[in-house]
Chain A
Amino acid sequence: MATLFFFYFAGIIVLTSILVVALRNPIYSALSLLIMFFHVAGLYVTLRAEFLAAVQVIVYAGAILVLYLFVVMLLNVKREDRYHPQFLLGTLLGLTLLTEGLLLVFRGTVPEQPASVPAATGATQAGSSVLPLVGNTETIGEVLFSTYLYPFEIASLILLVAMIGAIVLAKKDIGGREA
């Protein structure tokens, strides 16, 4: 059953991600990216990351993609967009990268099953916390506000800087002078 779900989600993810790159109209690309985000959220649910699935839908599908659609419709670009002349080179590079990645996956040693003994996977190390049986959201919250408190504050700073930067970049003239 889990395998069935995985192949459904994976198939749709691969299909829509290829469509994002292949489609001519930016609106269709953004919409297929929306479908991909939802299926990635589904994949997160099968991996028992319910909080991240919800965040994926709310932040990616709800905020980021709406921003993209706003800009696509604001700019109203109708012109046909041909592929770049370096199409062949790009595809070749992509295939090389894919082959390399797949070789690494097949030649490396990865755990094929979830670790059955959580205590053996570094529970005693600082900064790592074992997935307990309580809710996923509670666990993330506890780790985020204890071990990763400093990166969390940095993340808020990044968001503030990005907000100021976006306003400064997109505003027409600041303080009366031409931007």
Chain B
Amino acid sequence: MNVPLSYYLILSAIVFTTGVVGVLIRRNIIIILLSIELMLNATNINFVAFSYYLQNIAGQVFVFFALTVAAAEVAVGLAIIIALYRTKASINVDDFQLLKW
């Protein structure tokens, strides 16, 4: 008894949408980065599910690369957060509107 592929796609869609909504509605930069992790994980679930159902290992290799990019993104993102906190003592996105006209 196997789970249909569409179940994985629906799960992935739900998690991805949660990430998008999190990026849009939260004001804490750390939560926004966590929401980006949610979206990356949703795509990874898709990759692994397709890799299993199409019997092709390439999907898992791409999850590996996505993981690498996620690690790099976290390192740079958190460094930016620390630099921002040092200048404004805040991690609220509403406080950073220097480039906003």
Task: Give me the interface of A with B, judged by CB distance under 8 Å.
Answer: 1-3, 6, 10, 13-14, 17-18, 20-21, 26, 29-30, 33, 36-37, 40, 43-44, 47-49, 51-52, 55-56, 59-60, 63-64, 67-68, 71-72, 74-75, 77, 79, 81-84, 86-87, 89-91, 93-95, 97-98, 101-102, 105-106, 110-115, 118, 121-122, 127-131, 136, 139-140, 143-144, 147-148, 151, 155, 158-159, 161-163, 165-170, 172
Contacts and interface: CB of A to CB of B under 8 A. Distances in A.
B56 A131 contact: yes
26 contacts: A2-B1, A14-B11, A14-B18, A17-B18, A18-B18, A20-B18, A29-B31, A29-B34, A49-B63, A56-B67, A63-B71, A68-B33, A71-B30, A71-B81, A75-B85, A81-B28, A84-B24, A84-B26, A91-B25, A93-B24, A101-B17, A121-B56, A140-B64, A143-B57, A148-B65, A155-B69
A89 B94 CA distance: 17
A53 B44 CA distance: 11
Q: Which 8 A-B residue pairs are closest in the complex by CB-CB distance? A: A90-B24, A162-B72, A21-B22, A94-B21, A169-B79, A101-B13, A166-B79, A170-B79
A172 B34 CA distance: 25
B56 A129 contact: yes
Contacts, number: 253
Contacts of B73: 162
A168 to B, nearest CB: 8
Given A162-B75, A165-B79, A49 B24 contact: no
B28 A94 contact: no
B80 A169 contact: yes
Nearest to B23: A90
Interface residue SS majority, chain A: helix
Looking at B10, B48, B55, B94, the one whose CB has the most chain A CB atoms below 10 A away is B55
Contacts of B10: 102, 105
Contacts of A71: 30, 78, 81-82
Contacts of B22: 20-21
Contacts of B83: 169-170
B9 A110 contact: yes
A114 B78 CA distance: 40
Given A101-B13, A111-B54, A161-B72, A148 B61 contact: yes
A130 B3 contact: no
A85 to B, nearest CB: 9
A169 B82 contact: yes
